[in-house]
Amino acid sequence: MELPSQARMLRHKAMIQCARLAFGFAGIFDTDEAKRIIEGTPEEVHIGRESNDHRPNLISAAETEAKRGMEAFKSHWLGLTNEQREIIGIVEKKRLYELSLKSESAEEAEFT
């Protein structure tokens, strides 16, 4: 008896997951998983989507919040969607986070 193609595909994916868990294998992917991994390249995640038209506005808004301090930046960042975070990128997020820390340090220095 032959299984329909979807059931066969799901069984295959389940077997791959079982092998990963049971034997601690890493790097075993089927074709569609490999394509998804390649599409979300680390470079794009790290530097952001520079060609996206919304990126300058997203960075500007995050920068404004970062200048208000760490809590304001954290609240703003958590309010963004995952897609917006990917557009900004990890490198820019680190810069904005450091800016929020500097802003907070400057505020503390004013009060002392």
E strand or H helix at 63: helix 55-68
> In this predicted model, what pLDDT tens digit does every residue of 72-93 receive, in sequence order?
999 999 999 988 998 898 888 9
Amino acid at 62: A
Check whether 96 has a pLDDT greater than 70. yes
Q: Domain-by-domain residue ranges, the chain? A: 5-39, 46-111
Q: How far apart are CA 65 and CA 74, in angstroms?
A: 9
Residue 42's pLDDT band (boundaries 50, 70, 90)?
low
Instruction: Look at residue 65 in the predicted model and tell me its pLDDT.
Output: 93
